[in-house]
Amino acid sequence: MKVLVIGSGGREHAIVDALTRSPQVEKIYCAPGNAGIARQAECVAIRGTEVERLRDFAAAEGIGLTVVGPEAALAAGVVDAFEVAGLRIFGPTKAAARIESSKEFAKELMTRYGIPTADFKAFTEYDAAREYVLSRPFPAVLKYDGLAAGKGVVIAQTPEEADAALRDMLLDDKFGRGKVVVEDYLEGPEFSFMCFVSGRRVWPMALAQDHKRAYDGDRGPNTGGMGAYSPLPFITSDDEKYALEHILQPVADAMVAEGCPFRGVLYGGLMKTAQGIRVIEFNARFGDPETEVVLPRLRSDIVDIFCAVAEGREATLEWHDTATLGIVLASKGYPGTYEKGHEIKGLDALDGTVYHMGTELAGDRVLTAGGRVLFVVGQGATLAEARAKALADVARIDCDDLFHRSDIGHWALEKFTMHNS
């Protein structure tokens, strides 16, 4: 089978890597891909939002399966266009992807179906939003309603911070005119529960935890994610069972009841609070960088799963016991402004796997080409071993414009150990 992967980041590199392990795959294309993906797939210069060009390419090349990585391609309707053309594709339709693209849709669905999440109110008017926020306890959680690459959320500690954020979101059109969801502040460790979903069928993946803040000790601005690991020692099998039975399965059922059945990866961004497990957000796709630590642990043939989801058939998922931990190397300045075009050396001298998140080729040189640039993966019998291996490989990479966090996995390796000793 010929397979097309849509996207250009570390998530798509991990998907391509998993596809190379399937005996059913004859050839992999990636649109548009990056310098690392180019070693394992043929890169095609089409962006994820160029829906008609992607569809025409898949039809012309006889692609048997297309896998969508980024939310922007889903929101552009790539799945709908492929389905109309009778092409097999893995991912939710535009209507189903609203669980991610509209915070209000997601929050209202959760309210209607009794899914545990923070109480909320949605606003389009600055004055009403400001009045509500000032009447509530701080910190206040303000979420811009629309795709904002994980950066549309402000946790305001003071009325002044809340006011500035509401002005940005509702008066100054910084993000484009939209809505703001104001919700109660929750506390506890966060984790990512990704499931393959096909209508009412839900197959849970191994759990992972992302690290959203830019710097060590969970300090600094929110990013798209600076590192991840799997499994999670602080989430018990009872927690996982609760999340599956009270969150992921009911949401899959609700999407069917709402007339927009979900097919693809439903990603629950969950928090283990003192009151129980609560939903922070849903995504309609594989998480990035969670995918880069979860898929290396998948033992089953991923093509069987993608096809079972697309066609509504049964499949089984098996996992390796190994611990996997990965560290993002990001361009200095990220998530603010940063430079591109810095050369990266040492990539051939690594012990483990590296997924490319934002790179490009210039002749045979690999250059930085994004905010998040590389994802260095360590695997071992324990998370501590996996982290040591990842850090050793990070030290082998030579580039003058990258930074990384050294404490990925701290919830499992330091805090959790402390709480239990």
Positions touching ligand AMP (CB under 6 A) are 118, 141, 143, 150, 153, 155, 183, 185-186, 190, 212, 222, 269, 280-281
CB 238 to ligand AMP: min, Å: 23
Assigned token pair, 88: 């097999």
Chain CA centroid to CA 215, Å: 19
Specify the stretch interacting with ligand GLY by CB under 6 A; choose among 76-84, 282-290, 302-310, 315-323.
282-290
Q: 71 or 239: whose CB is closer to ligand GLY?
A: 71
Which of 173, 171, 167, 128 is closest to 146 using CA atoms? 173
The candidate with the shortest Cα–Cα distance to 262, out of 101, 98, 113, 92, is 92
DSSP, collapsed to helix, strand or coil, labels residue 269 as strand
Q: Which of 313, 316, 311, 247 is nearest to 282 (CA)?
A: 247
Asked whether position 210 contacts ligand GLY by CB under 6 A, the answer is: yes
Cα-based distances in Å from 225 to 108, 213, 288, 396? 26, 7, 7, 22
Site membership for ligand GLY, residue 379 (CB under 6 A)? no
Q: How many CB atoms lie within 10 A of CB 410?
A: 20
- Paired with 406 in beta bridges are none
What span, in angstroms and rounded, lies between the C-alpha atoms of 36 and 54? Answer: 21
Rounded CA-CA distance 141/162 in Å is 9
> 1 contacts which partner out of ligand GLY, ligand AMP, none, CB within 5 to 8 A by kind?
none
Q: Which does 215 bind (CB under 5 to 8 A by kind): ligand GLY, ligand AMP, none?
A: none
Cβ pair 288, 308 in contact under 8 A: no
Asked whether position 227 contacts ligand GLY by CB under 6 A, the answer is no
Tokens representing residue 219 in the block? 């300090």
The item of ligand AMP, ligand GLY, none sharing an interface with residue 407, based on CB under 5 to 8 Å by kind, is none
Q: Binding residue for ligand GLY (CB under 6 A) from 10, 36, 70, 225?
A: 225
Q: Which stretch binds ligand GLY (CB under 6 A): 31-39, 161-169, 287-295, 365-373?
A: 287-295
Shortest distance, position 283 Cβ to ligand AMP, whole Å: 8
153 binds, among ligand GLY, ligand AMP, none (CB under 5 to 8 A by kind): ligand AMP
CB of 268 to ligand GLY, least distance (A): 11
Interacting residue with ligand GLY among 240, 288, 301, 393 (CB under 6 A): 288
**What is the spatial distance between Cα 139 and Cα 154, in angstroms, rounded to a whole number?**
10
Shortest Cβ 210–ligand GLY spacing (Å)? 4
Contacting residues toward ligand GLY, per CB under 6 A = 150, 210, 225, 283, 287-288, 290
